[in-house]
Amino acid sequence: MTQEQTPPEAEAVLADEPEVRRALTEGDRAAVAGVVTAHPASPLAWAELADLADSEGRALDAFAYAVVAVDLAREQLRASGWRDGQPVPWSAESNRAYLRALDAERRSAERLGLDERAERAAADLAAADGEAAARIASEFTPTQVITIVGAGAGAFAPVVGTEARTGDPVAEPNAADAAGED
* pLDDT, tens digit (0-9, with 9 covering 90-100), for 115-159: 999 999 999 999 999 999 999 998 865 544 555 533 333 444 333
Confidence (pLDDT) at 2: 46
* Cα separation, 57 vs 42, whole angstroms: 23
* Cα separation, 131 vs 103, whole angstroms: 12
Give every CB contact of residue 111 below 8 A, 6+ residues apart in sequence.
59, 167
**Within a domain: residue 97?**
yes
**Within a domain: residue 11?**
no
Residues paired with residue 141 on neighbouring β-strands, in sequence order: 144
Mean pLDDT of 86-97: 96
Give every CB contact of residue 99 below 8 A, 6+ residues apart in sequence.
88, 90, 125, 128, 129, 132, 136
**Within a domain: residue 4?**
no
**Within a domain: residue 10?**
no
Q: How far apart are the first and last CA of the chain?
A: 66
Nearest to residue 68, comparing CAs of 10, 108, 31, 30? 108
**Within a domain: residue 2?**
no
* Cα separation, 18 vs 16, whole angstroms: 6
Confidence (pLDDT) at 6: 52
Half-sphere exposure of 2 (CA within 13 A, CB side): 2
Tens-digit pLDDT profile for residues 46-83: 999 999 999 999 999 999 999 999 999 999 999 999 99
Residue ranges of alpha helices (H) inside 56-169 are 59-79, 96-111, 115-128, 132-139
Among 27-31, 120-124, 163-167, 176-180, the range of highest mean pLDDT:
120-124
**Within a domain: residue 141?**
yes
**Within a domain: residue 52?**
yes
**Within a domain: residue 93?**
yes
Domain that holds residue 136: 18-178
Q: Regarding predicted confidence, which is higher, 126 or 162?
A: 126
Confidence (pLDDT) at 148: 53
* Cα separation, 101 vs 69, whole angstroms: 6
**pTM attached to this predicted model:** 0.74
Confidence (pLDDT) at 5: 59
Amino acid 167 reads: G
CB 14 within 8 A of CB 69: no
How many domains does the chain contain in total?
Answer: 1
DSSP secondary structure letters along 98-122? HHHHHHHHHHHHHHTT-HHHHHHHH
Mean pLDDT of the chain: 81
Confidence (pLDDT) at 139: 81
